[in-house]
Chains A and B, each alone.
Chain A
């Protein structure tokens, strides 16, 4: 099995850090800034949620490609049981 792509792993940890770290929330939580009328706090939270979701999709896709699931997949219908 090949290792996970570094970019996806980095994205994963970045999401976790940004999602838990209080600093970004402090910054957007006291800002009056708006983007097209939408408050920045709402944009930040929704953006973070989209990033987490997209990251997990990328991770799943990368894992599928590198054969992460193959050894635990159920046998295809009609496959004879393994013998040792």
Chain B
């Protein structure tokens, strides 16, 4: 216990030193919300990885490889495919952000559709959908403390300690906003994904040398992918991948990363340069899980196999290192969610109805973060039945933003009516199916509730686009927005702005 908790203390102390050394006072709400759009490639890359691969996902990826085999590759595949989607939309998103001082996804959608209601609705959908993931992230730290104590701490107390640690960490998230988040992401990212990759490769080597595990001798059942005759339906794997690809950039805390870059070049370079690390890291996790399935003692602990590998391969030090990597990755994800909650509450919800000064915006965002943390911290200490189901439902809900987001970015005919009607109908459809079928996809050819909802959503979006044509003024506004006509040439350029220029 001294070794594992000692490593935990060293990690946290170093993190505090990094954050304190980079403490900078913000000069505007954009500074606080998107770090003044000032971060270069490597900060962006680590920041993206930290939000994309939180600790809980690392644990579930290795666990899934042990239990279900090569289907676990669907996560690395959609994770890289979604960067392709980011590449396609990044330039327009960043330029609109720079030109109109956009800070959040809801800001961007509000601008595109010229609709405050849509901005508020998308923000609320995002917040409601992300909430369960935040609680799950907090809870996963309980498993970390439990493992670190070698089972001596009761699970309830472990969860309390995990929540206390993550709440303590949020002091810096609240004080420093996005700047603190991105800076700490670099430190946490190097440890979680650089160190995590090395550790996973070490586990693979250990499994091959100490246990003689080989890919050639894997159980054939673990090598099968759901095919046209699968019980889950023929399109099951397609649904998993498509949901991940489309949903990735619909998550507000991930989308906002597009606004922290100092240029389109930094943003795309970060996405592209993070890919090899993401590839090696995720493939190493899956291979470690697959090989671990060859060892009966590890197969029996599939859900916590990452910790079990650390403990079996390296004793206290191995367990400590495995745990620190999970902690670093979890902190990145939790911080991003908390920061995103605060910014959205101040910018998209309160700010949509009341014009907030810089100071009031900061106070509202920080207050929102404290409230969100208090509620999430409290919920994570409770035994909530079906929390994972609620989280899955949340993801099926959040991908409904895909139609509004990608339709708005790539097709100028879409309008606010279609976006709102489609979003609400898609969300309701996904929720109704999920509550009725509880994730069963056998009846729907493998299509998940989210994808079926997305179909309804898209159909209504297109229908409304043809039923309600844009007014000439709206057409001109969109032409200016999409084609980047210089503002001087447009008489009502001010109308394009979400926030009018302050009067000197």
Residues of B within 8 A of A30 (CB): 224-225, 227
Is the C-beta of B276 less than 8 angstroms from some C-beta in chain A?
Answer: yes
**Residue pair A72, B264 in contact (C-beta under 8 Å):** yes
| A20 adjacent to B84 (CB under 8 Å) | no
B: residues with CB less than 8 A from A are 70, 73, 76-78, 80-81, 83-84, 87, 91, 94-95, 98, 214-216, 218, 220, 223-228, 234-235, 237-238, 241-242, 245, 262-265, 268-269, 271-272, 275-276, 279, 283, 287, 290
Rank and list the top 3 A-B pairs by shortest CB-CB distance, nearest first.
A29-B225, A37-B216, A69-B265
Contact status B264-A69, CB under 8 Å: yes
* Contact surface of A with B, Cβ cutoff 8 Å: 12, 15-16, 19-22, 25-26, 28-30, 32, 34, 37-39, 41-42, 45-46, 48-50, 52-53, 55-57, 59-60, 63-64, 68-69, 72-74
Known contacts A41-B225, A53-B80; A34 and B87 CB within 8 A of each other: no
> Chain B's nearest CB lies how many Å from the CB of A4?
11
Q: Is the CB of A74 within 8 A of B262?
A: yes
Residues of B within 8 A of A64 (CB): 265
Given known contacts A19-B77, A52-B81, is B70 in contact with A38 (CB within 8 Å)? no
Within the complex, which residue of A19, A34, A38, A73 is in contact with B81, where a contact is CB–CB below 8 Å?
A: A19
Contact of B73 among A26, A38, A45 (CB under 8 A): A45
Partner of B238, one of A21, A42, A49, A74: A21
Q: Which residues of the other chain, A, contact B264 by a CB distance below 8 angstroms?
A: 68-69, 72-73
Please name all residues of chain B whose beta carbon is closer than 8 Å to the beta carbon of A73 when the two chains form the complex: 263-265
Please give the distance in Å from A12's CB to the nearest CB on chain B. Answer: 7
Residue from A39, A48, A69 in contact with B77 in the complex, judged by beta carbons closer than 8 Å: A48
Q: Provided the pairs A22-B238, A72-B95 are in contact, do residues A56 and B84 lie with their beta carbons within 8 angstroms?
A: yes
Q: Inside 8 A of B227's CB, which chain A residues have their CB?
A: 25-26, 29-30
CB nearest to A27 among chain B residues: B227
Tell whether, in the assembled complex, residue B215 and residue A49 are in contact, meaning their CB atoms are under 8 Å apart. Answer: no
B237/A59 in contact, CB under 8 A: no
With A37-B214, A37-B216, A39-B70 in contact, do A16 and B225 touch (Cβ < 8 Å)?
A: no
Is the Cβ of A38 less than 8 Å from the Cβ of B216?
yes
In the bound assembly, the distance between CA atoms of A60 and B275 in angstroms comes to 12
Pair A29/B226 contact, Cβ less than 8 Å = yes
CB of A19, distance to nearest CB on chain B (Å): 5
What are 22 of the A-B contact pairs (CB < 8 Å)? A19-B81, A20-B238, A21-B238, A25-B225, A29-B224, A29-B225, A30-B224, A39-B218, A39-B223, A41-B70, A42-B73, A45-B77, A46-B73, A49-B77, A52-B84, A53-B80, A53-B275, A56-B83, A56-B84, A59-B87, A64-B265, A72-B94
Residues of A within 8 A of B95 (CB): 72
Instruction: Give Cα A50 to B238, complex, Å.
Output: 19
What's the Cα separation between A19 and B287 when bound, in Å? Answer: 20
Q: Report the separation of the CA atoms of residues A37 and B213 in the bound assembly, to the nearest whole angstrom.
A: 13
**Chain A neighbourhood of B265, CB < 8 A:** 64, 69, 72-73
CB distance from A59 to the nearest CB of B (A): 7
Q: Check A42 against B215 for contact (C-beta < 8 Å).
A: yes
* Contact pick for A39, options B80, B215, B242, B263, CB 8 Å: B215
Residues of B within 8 A of A15 (CB): 81, 84
- A16 near B81: Cβ-Cβ < 8 Å: yes
In angstroms, Cα B414 to Cα A65, docked, is 33
- In this complex, the member of A21, A46, A53, A73 whose beta carbon has the largest number of chain B beta carbons within 10 angstroms is A53
A21 contact set on B, CB distance < 8 A:
238
**Cβ of A49 and Cβ of B76 under 8 Å apart?**
yes
> B272 is contacted by which of A25, A26, A56, A69 (Cβ under 8 Å)?
A56
Q: Is there an interface contact between B91 and A72, defined as CB atoms closer than 8 Å?
A: yes
